[in-house]
Structure 1
Amino acid sequence: MNQRINPESPLLLFALLAGSSLTVMSGAAVSPAMPAITAAFADEPMADFLTRLVLTMPALFIALCAPLGGLLVDRVGRKPVIVVALTLYGLSGTVGLYTDSLTVLLASRALLGVAVGGLMTACTTLIGDCYQGVRRSQVLGLQASSAAIGGVVFLLGGGLLTELSWRGPFTLYLAAFVLLPITLIALRQAPVYTPAQRAEAAARGDQQRPAMASLIGLYACMLLGMGLFYVVPLQLPYRLHELGYMSGALAGAALSVNTVCAAILSFSYRQLYLRFPEWQLLAASFFAIAGGLGLIGAAEGLPLILTGLSFVGAALGLLIPTVNQWLLRIAPLSMRGRIISGSTAGLFLGQFLSPFLSQPLVGLTGLAGAFLAFSALALVVAVLVTVLARRGRPHDPRTDATRGAS
């Protein structure tokens, strides 16, 4: 490796966390502007449907293109993918500032998804390269925590800028160009693995492929977990209306409880990782989702709703760093990008599919019934994780503390 590397560089850590936070902005920034965007393109055929794709298009293309990003991360390198992805992010994200074409806007949102898929995969893979064991778990927790906080900041910023114009929130994507020079400097201190080093890792036996069943199981947990989590922002405002709480501001404040709890759990993830095996943390995330959705479905007033939201937020704070830590631990050096790309794809595919899965169930059972049904599904997943993981050889995180294992 280059002798100038310093994985513990605060600037490098900042660049990785900031780059990861930008991925949340793909949808959060423009969400408050959706009614205004629909009004701006009201003369377009199928405007109501097509303008909604402005919000969902990035998630679909992130899921579709993340595997390609993972392949490039392994073949070309982590640094080039981050730099190109940041540049494409800024260029595509700001198209809404000047275009008057809905078709061009939708195409730019698809390109934004391509950029986010590469950026998220490369940043997480580089975290796996730079940090090991307990320190890695801490950084992955910080990554999830910063993304959660960033989501709130970008949502609020998008709302304020929407007051100026529907184009206003698209200025937030200029943040990529601010971050780009900082990242270029920071990446000089990141490790670079050459073909010779990959060959050396292979000779040591570090290149053993992880079991396909493990990968599929972890990807499925990410997809299901995110799909269940996104039932809350999609359906909670309607559930509050059903209970007589009509204020949109109240719905926004209630959802912030979700995000704050996710950020707190992620921030303290290192301490949890030291005390509990990965399978217990993963199972706990689904037990928490089950409890939270069940409380929201059974609630007759705001206190129980808020309690349920805190459970669901805590679940998200456990789910993302646990899946990524588990994948990075079992991924060989030469396959880290491709293996992490599956987590990125599952994360955003769950977001994209959530409305398609939840809305029909709401039509069949009503809002309360849908929340209770999804609670039961999460409970089944939690039990399956517990049973299947215990049949294998669970990783003991205490060995990381003593040996610094990856």
Structure 2
Amino acid sequence: MASESDGQGRLPTGIPWSSPTVRVVLLSTVLAPLGVPLISPALPTIRDVLALTDAQASLLVDRVGRRRVLIPSLFAFSLLGAAVALGPPYWVVLAVRVVQGTAAAALFITTVTLIGDTFEGVRRNTVLGVNVAVLSAGAAVYPLVGGALAAVSWNAPFAVYLVGLPVAVLAYRVLPEPAGERERRSVSYLRNVVSALPAREAAALYGSAFLIELLLFGAALTAVPFLLDGTYDLPAVLIGAVVTLTEVASVVTSALNGGFSRRVSNHGIIAAGFGIVGGGLVAAWWAPTLGVLVAATAALGAGWGTVLPSLDAGVSEGVETRFRAGALSFRNSTTFLGRALGPWLFTTLVVGRGYRPLLLVAGGCALAFVPVVLLLGRRG
């Protein structure tokens, strides 16, 4: 773990751009959003060319120690994705995407774990913040790339996955294998992971991971687009631009996390993020004009970018190194549970009520969670 001081007992706080670990982690992170945003714009074309139903096409975005996981995952993610560019039958494409999704999940977990292993204190928050910024930037750009390539051929976007191969080679050459990585993954290990965080910490951090993704995917990525269409009759391209704005806002706030952590605890930052999200949801409910609704949507992305780096920093700080990967895996599981439930929950509850009242209720839930996070984060 990087614990070098500046000669006065203080840990460094800047971004160590010269670190091979930082370079590999950020390059791996920028690949992770390729799994869905790159392919989503191509789904209508894939549906038409392969004579699929909408439901069948949508299945192509469903997804099912550190160094030894990251490197094979990079190779698998790249080669499997690029294989679809050869134009195999639909069932082969679907099978490949299932396996590729497993590799993508490994990328999400191992990159954050490597940061937690290598850095500590404010520098850990700083690097985690930049990592989330890179993730959000990729998610904002890839739909444009995927849409442009899909105009050439339905399978052209899949060739982009080959960019992961040089990253895998770089990781193999420069990435160290942290001490303690060979902890056996047994039932007793899982029990230790479950108990690695105190109950209050686990409730605050895992609960935050679930709720922030539930609100983001349910409101910003589902309810708001329907509201933009139904109320303002915006075309799909402009709705996409508004959604992209949430990613841009998250890039800004996540990149600032290191500066925030110099003055505020991780729990305080998480609480502030929920406050921003809650305010954005209430503003989206109230929004008398399109401009106000767009600004409120940007606030949702800003809140998400505020919360996520401090979530990962909190989990990393709260567990021993040998249990960190397992604890972050649990964090990732709660994240994807929230992502899966959000769109379904919001579209189910909206029947007969409209989206604006639902946004108000969601905003109230986010604001109510602010004191919960602060209370659970209190020491003693």
TM-score (norm 2): 0.87
Work out the CA distance in 2 between the residues paired with 1:216 and 1:38. Answer: 42
One-letter code of the match for 2:72?
V
Aligned to 1:309: 297
Q: Does 1:278 align with 2:295?
A: no
One-letter code of the match for 1:161?
L
Work out the CA distance in 2 between the residues paired with 1:310 and 1:194. Answer: 39
Match of 1:41 among 43, 50, 55: 50
8 Å contact 2:224–2:297 — kept in the other structure?
Answer: no
- Using the TM superposition, name which of 305-314 and 141-150 deviates more: 305-314
| Cα deviation digits, residues 164-207 of structure 1 (max 9, x gap) | 1221221222121131112222314x6444779xxxxxxxxxxx
Structure 1 209/100 Cα, relative in aligned 2: closer, same or farther at 3 Å? Answer: closer
8 Å contact 1:237–1:251 — kept in the other structure?
Answer: yes
8 Å contact 1:222–1:343 — kept in the other structure?
Answer: yes
Aligned to 2:89: 101
Superposed, which structure 2 residues align to 1:357-372 within 5 Å? 357-372=345-360
Work out the CA distance in 1 between the residues paired with 2:181 and 2:375. Answer: 40
Superposed, which structure 2 residues align to 1:129-168 within 5 Å? 129-168=117-156
Unaligned runs of 5+ in 2: 2-15, 184-194
Corresponding residue pairs, total:
354
Q: Does 1:187 align with 2:193?
A: no
Aligned to 2:208: 221
Work out the CA distance in 2 between the residues paired with 1:246 and 1:88. Answer: 39
Aligned to 1:92: 80
Task: Give secondary structure in 2 for the equivalent of 1:309.
Answer: helix
Aligned to 1:396: none
Work out the CA distance in 2 between the residues paired with 1:370 and 1:92. Answer: 40
Ranges of 4+ aligned residues in structure 1 off by more than 6 Å: none
Work out the CA distance in 1 between the residues paired with 2:353 and 2:370. Answer: 23
Work out the CA distance in 1 between the residues paired with 2:17 and 2:238. Answer: 41
Q: Does 1:339 align with 2:327?
A: yes
Aligned to 1:252: 240
| Cα deviation digits, residues 51-103 of structure 1 (max 9, x gap) | 11212x12xx1xxxxxxxxxxxxxxx211111111111112222431244322
Match of 1:50 among 56, 74, 79: 56
- Give, in angstroms, the shift of residue 381 of structure 1: 2.0
8 Å contact 1:290–1:376 — kept in the other structure?
Answer: yes
Work out the CA distance in 2 between the residues paired with 1:259 and 1:181. Answer: 29
- Give, in angstroms, the shift of residue 304 of structure 1: 0.7
Work out the CA distance in 2 between the residues paired with 1:247 and 1:209. Answer: 48
- Give, in angstroms, the shift of residue 351 of structure 1: 1.8
Work out the CA distance in 1 between the residues paired with 2:331 and 2:113. Answer: 11
Task: Give secondary structure in 2 for the equivalent of 1:94.
Answer: helix
- Give, in angstroms, the shift of residue 27 of structure 1: 0.8
Aligned to 1:32: 41
Q: Does 1:375 align with 2:363?
A: yes
Task: Give secondary structure in 1 for the equivalent of 2:288.
Answer: coil
Aligned to 2:6: none
Work out the CA distance in 1 between the residues paired with 2:357 and 2:196. Answer: 42
| Cα deviation digits, residues 332-390 of structure 1 (max 9, x gap) | 01101101111222222322222211110122421212222221222222232233333
Work out the CA distance in 2 between the residues paired with 1:306 and 1:346. Answer: 28
One-letter code of the match for 2:211?
L
Aligned to 2:8: none
8 Å contact 1:331–1:339 — kept in the other structure?
Answer: yes
8 Å contact 1:129–1:191 — kept in the other structure?
Answer: yes
Aligned to 1:12: 21
Match of 1:320 among 293, 299, 308: 308
One-letter code of the match for 1:334?
R
Work out the CA distance in 2 between the residues paired with 1:99 and 1:357. Answer: 35
Aligned to 1:211: 198
Unaligned runs of 5+ in 1: 2-6, 62-76, 197-207, 394-406
One-letter code of the match for 1:53?
L
Work out the CA distance in 1 between the residues paired with 2:241 and 2:266. Answer: 32
| Cα deviation digits, residues 276-321 of structure 1 (max 9, x gap) | 1111111111111111122122213122112212211111111110
8 Å contact 1:259–1:313 — kept in the other structure?
Answer: yes
- Using the TM superposition, name which of 236-245 and 141-150 deviates more: 236-245
Work out the CA distance in 2 between the residues paired with 1:352 and 1:176. Answer: 26
One-letter code of the match for 2:101?
G
Work out the CA distance in 2 between the residues paired with 1:381 and 1:178. Answer: 43
Aligned to 2:284: 296
Work out the CA distance in 1 between the residues paired with 2:278 and 2:317. Answer: 27
8 Å contact 1:117–1:345 — kept in the other structure?
Answer: no
**CA-atom RMSD in angstroms:** 2.1
Q: Tell me: higher relative CO, structure 1 or 2? Use CA pairs within 8 A at least 6 residues apart.
A: 1
Aligned to 2:103: 115
